[in-house]
Amino acid sequence: MAKKNKSWEHRLAGSPDELAMNFVESLSYDKRLYKYDIVGSIAHSAMLADVGLITKKEADQIKKGLLEVAEEIEAGKFRFDIVYEDIHMAIEAALTAKIGDAGKKLHTGRSRNDQVATDMRLWMRDEIASLQGKIANLQKAFVALAEKYTDDVMPAYTHLQRAQPVTIASYLLSFVEMLARDHCRLSNCSAIMNVSPLGCGAVAGSTLPLDRNNTAKRLGFDGIMNNSLDGMSDRDFCAEFIFDCSLIATHLSRLAEDFIIFSTNEFDFIRVADKYCTSSSMMPQKRNPDMLELIRGKSAGVIGCLTAMLTMLKGQPSTYNRDMQEDKLHVFRSADTVSASLEMAAAIVSNMEFKAEKIAAGMDNGFLDATALAEYLVSKGMPFRQGHGIVGAAVAACEKAGKKLADLSIEEFKKFSNVIDKDVYSYLGAAGIIKKYATEGAGGVKQAKKQITFWKKKLAKI
């Protein structure tokens, strides 16, 4: 026989059966909000005392009792019973058992609707700060690795075809830029959602003289939500947070894909540390980059959470619906997956080696200096489109002859254009080109060194 569900509405006769209780409960996953629920409740009780709805003594009793509950949870002594459905009811029941009638006054002017909306914002504010710290750690790992390879060359690819030579450092720093945007998006999300819904009640606010600005200030919010109907039901911030996590996961998946390809025997550009690889159960020679593959694979789950969150929201009528209970599953999963993936990516990058000499030895394949040769012709006064055609013809001739552009004599070059002179050779070959790049942010030596200086200074402040 099912136990009496203390949180079931008094309007309903009898008790729900065990199947219903197990179906409706969220305590199994929203219990991670306990700190924020307690902090919010302490602020709420202090405000109730300030406006005269409870006494100062009752507020002190509530605070003392809630802190005792927090200590029990942190010590692993608290029994989470799903008969109370969610963390809000579980804590309130434990508080009332401790302090009696004063505990029953805590819910004055408050609904679980605005309570959970407040808890989620408080939790997310801290989670964003944590994720930003892990993003910064990964950025620092990339900058440290880039600093080792400022003068070393590698091919940059477009369409997975060799395109132009760049420094290894420039390649690595490209991920620092992506992650910087991720960091910024999380800051934007934090700023937008840092307003208090507490006091919005179930939907229409309260006839009691609650001071919403009082609780907002106590909880570190920048202000209050201006419309109670929107305030307790808004989950835009959850969707935005999951989107931010999805993009972080996408960036991590892209770098994982690169490193997986670069670690193959066919490329053999990098070595991933043994501790971040696994062996095969059948093939003793294998070093499988499983951690990278899991980073890539786990990104799909985060993107799935975004789809689930948006689908959940788009089908609901206005204000609060129980569907919103499911938001936490997707928010928590996204945060946990991205957090773990950022930590793993930082560990992999911190222990990675680029095979710079081997990469440099193969840089002559693919005519990576073709663009530089076309720009050389431009520097001689030739229109780019004309120079583009001339270099294309030269590349085709070299392919037939089994030569590189740098193998052509001046006489052979002049068959394609009379403006070509002996200074052309300084524009040919990957090692020379990475020193000639002139534009800000290009893939050259001086640009990489400048970016490293910038990022070291900026990341030192985080």
For the chain, which residues make up each domain, given as ranges?
A: 18-108, 121-148+168-181+232-354, 370-453
Containing 156, the helix (H) or strand (E) segment is strand 153-158
- Tell me how far CA of residue 453 lies from CA of 124, 441, 444, in angstroms: 32, 13, 14
Q: Show the tokens assigned to 347.
A: 């560990």
Model pLDDT, residue 14 = 66
Type of residue found at 35: K
Q: How many CB atoms lie within 10 A of CB 227?
A: 12
> Pick from 445, 440, 347, 427: which is nearest to 387 by CA?
427
Rounded Cα–Cα distance for residues 288 and 279 (Å): 6
121-148+168-181+232-354: CATH number: 1.20.200.10
No. of helices (H) and no. of strands (E), the chain: 19, 4
Model pLDDT, residue 191 = 98
Model pLDDT, residue 123 = 98
Model pLDDT, residue 4 = 47
Beta strand pairing call for 270-271 and 161-167: unpaired
Containing 161, the helix (H) or strand (E) segment is strand 161-167
Model pLDDT, residue 233 = 96
Model pLDDT, residue 17 = 80
Same CATH fold assignment for domains 18-108 and 370-453 = no
Model pLDDT, residue 11 = 59
Rounded Cα–Cα distance for residues 300 and 22 (Å): 29
The residue with tokens 């830029």 is 177
Containing 153, the helix (H) or strand (E) segment is strand 153-158
What residues pair up with 196 in beta bridges, in sequence order? Answer: 224
Q: Show the tokens assigned to 5.
A: 């569900």
Tell me whether residue 359 is exposed, middle or buried, using C-beta atoms within 10 angstroms of its C-beta: 0 to 12, 13 to 18, 19 or more. buried
Rounded Cα–Cα distance for residues 195 and 231 (Å): 9
Model pLDDT, residue 198 = 98
18-108: CATH number: 1.10.275.10
Model pLDDT, residue 462 = 85
Report yes or no: 69 and 95 within 8 Å, Cβ to Cβ: yes
Containing 271, the helix (H) or strand (E) segment is strand 270-271
Mean pLDDT by 10 residues, the chain (462 residues): 47 74 92 98 98 98 98 96 93 97 97 97 98 98 98 96 96 98 98 98 97 98 97 97 98 98 96 94 90 98 98 95 95 98 98 97 89 94 96 95 93 94 91 93 97 97 88
Query: So which residues are the catalytic ones?
Result: 159, 280
> Pick from 118, 110, 88, 111: which is nearest to 225 by CA?
118
CATH superfamily, domain 370-453, is Fumarase/aspartase (C-terminal domain) (1.10.40.30)
> Pick from 221, 251, 24: which is nearest to 122 by CA?
221
